[in-house]
Structure 1
Amino acid sequence: MRPGWPHAKRFGQHLIDDAATITDAKLEAVLAYEWRARLTAAWLIGVGQREAFRERIGSLLLDSEVCYSGKGYCFALARLGTHEDAEIICAYLDRYLPQTDLRYDQPEALGALLRLDVQLGTHHADRFTGADGLWDHWVRALVHLRDHPSFTPDEQRRWTDLQCDFAAGWSCP
C-alpha cells in the first residue's frame, strides 16, 4: 500500500483474482484456522465484498478468540459499508473499550467506524471519541499508548481509508 511500491499492481490483481475465485466453503474453512489464515480470509472477504460473511465476521470480531485477525475483520466490515456493519463495530467497541487492560483491535475498529460514519452520514463514533470518552480512557489506561501520535481517531481513520481505498482502487476493472 506504500505509494510507489513497484509490486502494487501485480499484488492487487492477485488479491482480486483470489477474492473472486475462492469458494464460500474454503473461506469458512480458512476462518476456522489460526490468526494468519483468518486475517487472509477477512481480507479476501473485504476485497470481494462478500456480504454473506457479515454475520460470521461480526461474530469472530466480537469473540476476539485469536490476536491480530480482528484487523482483517474490521477491514472487511469497513468495505461492506452498511449500517449493520457499523452496528457490529459499535457492539465491539462497547464491549472492549471499557476493558482498559486489553489491547485487541480497538484502534482498527474505531478507524473502520469513523470511515463508515463518513460513508453513511452517521455519527456512531461520536460517543466513543467525545471529550473524555471511552477512546480517551482506553488510550490513557495503556501507558505505552499515551501521547503516541498514531493512536488518535484521525490516524485510525486515515489507516482504514488507506486500506479500503487501496482495495477499491484494485477492485475496479
Structure 2
Amino acid sequence: MPSQHPEEVGHGHVVERYVTRMYGGLPRYLVLNSGRFLGPRWWHTTRFTRHLITDAAAINDEELEALLGYEWRSRLTAAWLIGVDRREQFRARIGDLLLTSEACYSGGAYCFALARFGTHADAEILTAYLDRYLPCTDLHYDQAAALGALLRLDALLGTRHADPFTQPDGPWEQWVNALVHLRDHPGYTPSEQRRWTDLHCDFANGWCQP
C-alpha cells in the first residue's frame, strides 16, 4: 500500500505535533530511534517522557492510522505511542508492517509495541518474523529487535518460542556470522538483545500505569 501524507487523510497536524516536536535540539522520532532518553546524563528526559506519556494517551486511533500510513519517522513514532499506551487494537496492523518490512528503522518500534502488549499473539507475530527473515543471511533488518522482544515475551509467558532460533549453530548464530559487521559485535548476542528490549519496556513501565 503506497504511503500517504497525513494531510491527504485530513490529519495534516500529526507530524508536527507527534513526530518532529523538538527536545534538546532533536526531533522526537530521532530521540526514540537513538534511545537517548535512556541515558542518565540527557537533561531533557523528564520533559521528553512526560510529553510522550501524555501524547500516547491523547492521540486518537485515526491520528495513529495517519502516522502508520506515512513514512518511517511517522511509523516509528506511532508504534512507540501505541506501545506506551498498549493500544492492542493495533496488533494486526503492527504485525503486518513488521512482516512486510518495507521501511527502514521503524521495525524496532513495532517490536517494542509487541513486547509491551505481552501476549501469546504477539509472540506468534515475532516468531513468524524470525522464521521469515533470519534465513535471509544477507539482510540486516530488525532480526535483533524481534529476537529481543521474543525472549522477553518467553520470560513473561513461560514459553520457549525463541529456543529454535538460539540453539548452537542455529538460525541466530548463522545470521550473525554471515554478516561481517555483526560477527564479532558484542551487542549481537541473544542476552544483549533481551537486555535492550527490557530497558525500553522497563522505561515505559516506570512511567505508565499498569
- In the superposition, the TM-score normalised over structure 1's length comes to 0.97
- Say what the alpha-carbon RMSD is for the aligned residues: 1.1
Residue 11 of structure 1: which of 39, 44, 48 is its match? 48
The answer on 1:31 being equivalent to 2:68 is yes
Distance 1:4 1:119 in 2: 30
Q: Partner of 2:147 in structure 1? A: 110
Distance 1:8 1:171 in 2: 15
Please report how far the alpha carbon of residue 131 of structure 1 lies from its aligned counterpart in structure 2 after TM superposition. 0.7
Q: Could you say which structure has the larger radius of gyration?
A: 2
The answer on 1:52 being equivalent to 2:89 is yes
Please report how far the alpha carbon of residue 4 of structure 1 lies from its aligned counterpart in structure 2 after TM superposition. 4.8
Distance 1:55 1:94 in 2: 18
AA in 1 matched with 2:173:
D
Of 8-17 and 81-90, the range deviating more from structure 2: 8-17
CA offsets, 1:16-58, max 9 Å, x none?
1000010100100100111111000000000000000000000
The answer on 1:42 being equivalent to 2:79 is yes
Structure 1 gap segments, 5+ residues each = none
CA offsets, 1:79-115, max 9 Å, x none?
0000000000000000000010110000000000000
Identity %: 71
Structure 2 gap segments, 5+ residues each = 1-37
Structure 2 residue matching 1:5: 3-state secondary structure = coil
CA gap 1:17/1:93 in 2 versus in 1, 3 angstroms: same
1:57-72 to 2 correspondences below 5 Å: 57-72=94-109
Structure 2 residue matching 1:3: 3-state secondary structure = coil
